[in-house]
Structure 1
C-alpha cells in the first residue's frame, strides 16, 4: 500500500513489515508493568497507619503520602506523553519505570518522613505508564488489535490494584515490619526495569518539534494550584483564603496556558485540533468519570464502618469486611475491563460507553435509595464496578482514536490528568457535602449526607451519557464513537483521506 492509495491513518496504523504480527507480541511484557502499577498504587493504602507510627507523624501529615504522588503525577503525565511522541514511547516508558522503581525503593527504605515523600514524588511516574503503553500499541498495531491490547492492559491494571491491597494487607498481618512489607512492591518495580529492555518494540511514528517547556510548566503549576486548593476544602471550607487563593491562581494560570498553547507552533496539547475534532467533549466525560471513580471510595468505606447503634446507619464493619463488600465490584471491573473490546465489537464504542456510565449511574442510584443491608450495598457496588471496568477499557481507546496520530501520547496522558482532576474536585465536594450535613458539635454526618453524595455521582453518570451522545452527533467527524461497531476495513478513498481539514478526515480507520 503506497502513500497515494492510503489515508494517513492507514499508513500509520496498517500492518508494518517490521511490526509484530500479533497483539501478544506487542503487549507481552507491558501487562507485567500494569500489574506492577496497580499493585504499587493500592498496596500502600492499608499500611498508612503503620507508616504514621513508624515515622512519628499524625493523620493530617499522612494525607501527603497520597497527595504528593497525585500532584507529581499531574505534572509528569503530559511531559512523559509529549516526550514519548517526540522521541519514542518505549524510551520514555523505560525512564518512567526506572523512576517508579527508584521511588518505591526509597519509600521502603526511607529513614525519615521527608525522604518517604521524595520517594512518592518519583512514584508519580506511575500514572504515565498506561498512556505511554497505549500510544505504543496504537502505533504498532492495526485498530482492532490495538483495541484488544488496550483492554488487556487496563485489565492488568485492575487486577494489580485488586492484588495490591489484598497482598500487602495480608503481608502486614504476617510481618510486623512496615519496611520489610514495603520491600515487596519495591522488588516488583525493580524487576520491571531490566524486563523493560526485553522484547518490546519501539514506536515508529514521531511527532515533529520539541517539548513545549513553557506549556509544561504552566500546566503543571495550574494543576498543582487546583489540587492544592481543593485539598484544603476538607479543613478550611470553600470560602477560606487557603482554598480561594489557589483556585484563583489556577484560573489565571490555566488562562495563560491556553493562550500559550494556541500561539505555540508545537504545543504540549494542540487545543485547536481538540476543538476541531470534538475531543473536548470527551475530556468533559473524563472529568465526570473521575468524580465518580474517586469520589465514592471514601464515603462507601466510612458508611460501612459507621456504628448503627450510635450513628443510626451503617454496619460497624472492620477493614477486612469492608474490602470483602467491595470485592464484587472489583471483580466486576476486572471482567468488564478485560472484555471491553469484545463488548464493543457487538455494541460499538459509543453504546459501550453509554452503557458503562448507565451502569455507574444505576449503581449510585441504588446506593442512594437502597443501603439498609450489606447485600444491597454489595449489589450496588458490583453494578458500579461493572460500569467502571467498561469505562476504563473504552475511554482510552476513544480518546486516542479521536486524536491526531502524532499526539496520541499527550492525548491519553491528558485523559488521565483530567480524570485525576475530577477526582481531586470530587474529594473537596464530598467533604463539603458531608460537613454541611454533620451533627452540630459532632464529627459524624447524617445519613442524608451520604445519600446526597451518591445521588450526585449518579447525576454525573447521566451527564456523562449525555456528553457521549452529544459527541457522536456533534460535528459529524469520524471517531470510534461515531460507528455502531468496529469491524470494517477502515479504508476510505484517497482524496477524502488527503483532505486533512475536512470532516471526512478521521482519527483512525474503523478497524
Structure 2
C-alpha cells in the first residue's frame, strides 16, 4: 500500500464519502484516509488567529491541553484531608467530590463527543474548557460545600478533552504520525497527573491561604482557554446526523443510575434498596434505550457500529482494561502499606516510599504510551495490544505467587506501567483509526466511557471482595488480595480472546469497499467537508 499523506490541505475535498476502516492487525499497513483532490495552490494550515501553523505546532498545543487535563485531575488528590477541614465535612462527604465528577464525566463524554462530530470538535473543546475553568473557580472560591459540588459537576467535561483532541488529530493526519501524536497526548496527560499531585503538595505546604492553593488549577486552565480559542484549528469533516436528544437523555440516565448503584455496593451491601433500586432502574432504562437507538435513523450511539466485528474487540478490551487497572488502583497501595507483623503480609511501606514506586510506575506508563507507535510498526496494532495485555497478566501472576518478595513486586509494578502505557496509547488510537471519519469523536468517547465504566465496575467488585475479609484493626486478608489479582488475570485472558477476533487483512485501495463488503451491518451516514 502506498504511503499515507500526512499533511492537511485546507482546500482538499473528500471524494467518495468520509468513511474509513483498516485491518487492525496488519503490521505494515497504514489506515486509508479519504481520497483527496488537492488544488494546485496549497495554503498552510492556519489557526483561528490567521497565523500559519505547522501540524507539529498544533500537536504541541494539544499536548499542553492534555497536560492541563492531567494536572487538574491529579491536583486535588493530596488535598482531600485539607478540603474536608476547610468545608467542615466528613470523610464520607468528601467522596462526593469524586463521585459527582465521575457521574458528570460519564454524561459529558458521549454527548460532547457526538456534538463535536456534528458541529465541530474545536467548538465542543472550547465549551468543555470554559466549563472546567468555571468549575475550578467554583471549587476555589466557594465556602459552601453544595456550591463546591456544583463546581465539580461543571468540571465533568474534562474527561471529553481527550476524545475531542484525538478527533482533531485524526482529522488532519493519519497512520504512524497520528499514532505517535495520540501516544504523546496520553503520555503528557499522565505526566500532568503526577505534576498536579506534586505541585499541590508543595503549594499546600507553603501557602496559608487555601483559596490561593485551590486557584492554581484555574490559572493553568485559563492558559488552556487561550490555546484552544486561538491556536487550535477546527476539524474539517462533519456528520450530517441530527442530535438524538432522547437517546442522549436515556444514555445519561442509564449511566448515572448504574454508577450510583456501584458506588453504594460497598457502603450499603449489594442486596440493599440503595443498590437494587438504581440497578433495576438502570436495567429498565437501558432496555428502553437500546430499543430506541435501534429504531431511530440518527442514533446518539450507532449500536451497529459498536457491536460490529470492526469495533467490539477494542471496546471490550477497553472495558476489561478499566476493570483491571482503574478498579484496582488502591489495592496495591494498601498491600504495600500492610504490616507483616500484624497481618502476615505486605511491606509496611511509608506513604513517601509508596509514592516513589507509584511515580516510577507512572513514568514507565508514560514512556510506553509515547513509544507504542514504534512497536506497532514492527508487530502491528493488535500485536501491541497483546503485548500490553501480556505484561499486565504477568504482573498479576507475580502478585499472586510471589507477593512476599519485594524485588518481584517492584518488577510487577514495572510490568503494570508498561502494559498500561501500551494499552492507553494504542487503544484510543486504534478506535479512531477504525471509526468512520465523521464519527471519530463519538467513537473515541465511547472508548473513554467504557474504560471509566470498567473502572467503576471493578472498583465496586474489588471493594466488596476486600471488605468481606476485613478484620477490625488489621485490614483485609491476603486471600482477598489474591482474589482481586486472579480476577484481573481472568479479565486479561478475555482481552486476548477478544483481540484474536480482530481481522488481519490488507484493505483494498478504496476504503469504502471494505466497509460495504466486510461490514454491511455498519450503517455509515453521509458526511460533508467543512472548511
TM-score by length of 2: 0.87
Q: Counterpart in 2 of 1:61?
A: 93
Alignment gaps of 5+ in structure 1: 473-481
- Deviation of 1:318 (Å): 2.7
In 1: Cα distance, 2:85 partner to 2:251 partner: 36
In 1: Cα distance, 2:294 partner to 2:19 partner: 24
When residues 83 and 19 of structure 1 are mapped into structure 2, their CA distance, relative to the original with a 3 A threshold, is farther
Q: Counterpart in 2 of 1:497?
A: 512
In 2: Cα distance, 1:401 partner to 1:411 partner: 10
Query: Equivalent residue of 2:232, what SS?
Result: coil
Whether the 8 Å CA contact 2:13–2:37 is kept in 1: the answer is no
Match of 1:45 among 49, 55, 77: 77
- Deviation of 1:448 (Å): 1.4
Larger helix percent: 1
In 1: Cα distance, 2:519 partner to 2:326 partner: 37
Whether the 8 Å CA contact 2:369–2:424 is kept in 1: the answer is yes
- Deviation of 1:276 (Å): 3.4
Q: Counterpart in 1 of 2:430?
A: 398
Whether the 8 Å CA contact 1:215–1:257 is kept in 2: the answer is yes
Q: Number of aligned residue pairs: give it.
A: 490
Q: Counterpart in 2 of 1:73?
A: 105
- Deviation of 1:200 (Å): 1.4
- Deviation of 1:174 (Å): 2.8
Q: Counterpart in 1 of 2:485?
A: 454
Q: Counterpart in 2 of 1:102?
A: 134
In 2: Cα distance, 1:8 partner to 1:351 partner: 25
1:152 aligns with 2:167: no
Whether the 8 Å CA contact 1:6–1:493 is kept in 2: the answer is no
Whether the 8 Å CA contact 1:107–1:182 is kept in 2: the answer is yes
In 1: Cα distance, 2:494 partner to 2:262 partner: 22
Whether the 8 Å CA contact 1:352–1:394 is kept in 2: the answer is yes
Whether the 8 Å CA contact 2:18–2:438 is kept in 1: the answer is no
When residues 180 and 318 of structure 1 are mapped into structure 2, their CA distance, relative to the original with a 3 A threshold, is farther
- Deviation of 1:504 (Å): 7.7
1:438 aligns with 2:438: no
- Deviation of 1:316 (Å): 2.7
1:343-373 Cα deviation digits (max 9, x unpaired): 1111100000010011011112212222224
In 1: Cα distance, 2:494 partner to 2:44 partner: 40
In 1: Cα distance, 2:282 partner to 2:140 partner: 34
Match of 1:412 among 423, 428, 444: 444
When residues 497 and 299 of structure 1 are mapped into structure 2, their CA distance, relative to the original with a 3 A threshold, is closer
In 1: Cα distance, 2:233 partner to 2:489 partner: 42
Query: Equivalent residue of 1:339, what SS?
Result: helix
- Deviation of 1:7 (Å): 8.3
Query: Equivalent residue of 2:237, what SS?
Result: coil
Moved more, 379-388 or 172-181: 172-181
1:192 aligns with 2:229: no
Q: CA RMSD in A?
A: 2.3
Moved more, 409-418 or 312-321: 312-321
In 2: Cα distance, 1:3 partner to 1:242 partner: 52
Q: Counterpart in 2 of 1:354?
A: 386
Residues 102-181 of structure 1 correspond to what in structure 2 (within 5 A)?
Answer: 102-181=134-213
- Deviation of 1:390 (Å): 0.6
In 1: Cα distance, 2:36 partner to 2:295 partner: 33
Which of the pair has the greater relative contact order for Cα pairs under 8 Å at 6+ separation? 2
Query: Equivalent residue of 1:234, what SS?
Result: helix
1:253 aligns with 2:285: yes
Residues 238-387 of structure 1 correspond to what in structure 2 (within 5 A)?
Answer: 238-387=270-419
Q: Counterpart in 1 of 2:27?
A: none
Whether the 8 Å CA contact 1:15–1:141 is kept in 2: the answer is no
1:12 aligns with 2:44: no
- Deviation of 1:164 (Å): 1.5
Query: Equivalent residue of 1:94, what SS?
Result: helix
In 1: Cα distance, 2:116 partner to 2:173 partner: 17
